[in-house]
Structure 1
């Protein structure tokens, strides 16, 4: 499964607290050993249900130290029997874009 999540403290003390909290969460994700990718809005992690949600739970607990409450957004792609989708989905998308560009150029 792929899970994109975003976690941050609220009720804390400013932008520095948010950056430090998110850094603490991302450190936990990266230390998990599971395939992951962080962008400006979400961290995506790939693994089994139990693996992924254990990491999200620990990342959320780490963020809790930075504010009086925690906000968490989760989006999951549950597709049994498919591995390496954190890169595979992007590779298929890039191929489709390239194929469309070739088709447009030949018209």
Structure 2
């Protein structure tokens, strides 16, 4: 399972990065494969472990912000090993012609 999620602390003005850093730290310390970019944090694992990490990350932001919005997108692809990188590998094979 691959989850992409975004947390938005509301009512904190320009201190968003401070709040999100707490969440990303939780994701990284989880030991699960993950990647963050300017819009989402992606995390790979089974349903229970991934959702536990998302919950703890959301709670960390909520501990400092009066309100938090969560956007979550899940890719449930049972036959895809390591979807965090596997999906990109499939795409790259189609973009880059083989010799």
> Could you say which residue in structure 2 is the equivalent of 1:88?
86
Task: Specify which structure has the higher proportion of helix.
Answer: 1
**Structure 1: gaps (5+ residues):** 103-107
Q: CA RMSD in A?
A: 1.2
> Could you say which residue in structure 1 is the equivalent of 2:38?
40
- Structure ID, larger Rg: 1
> Could you say which residue in structure 1 is the equivalent of 2:10?
10
> Could you say which residue in structure 2 is the equivalent of 1:30?
28
TM-score, length-scaled by structure 1: 0.86
Count of residues paired in the alignment: 98
Among 60, 74, 77, the residue aligned to 2:58: 60
Superposed displacement of residue 82, structure 1? 2.8
Runs of 4+ in structure 1 over 2 Å off: none
TM-score, length-scaled by structure 2: 0.93
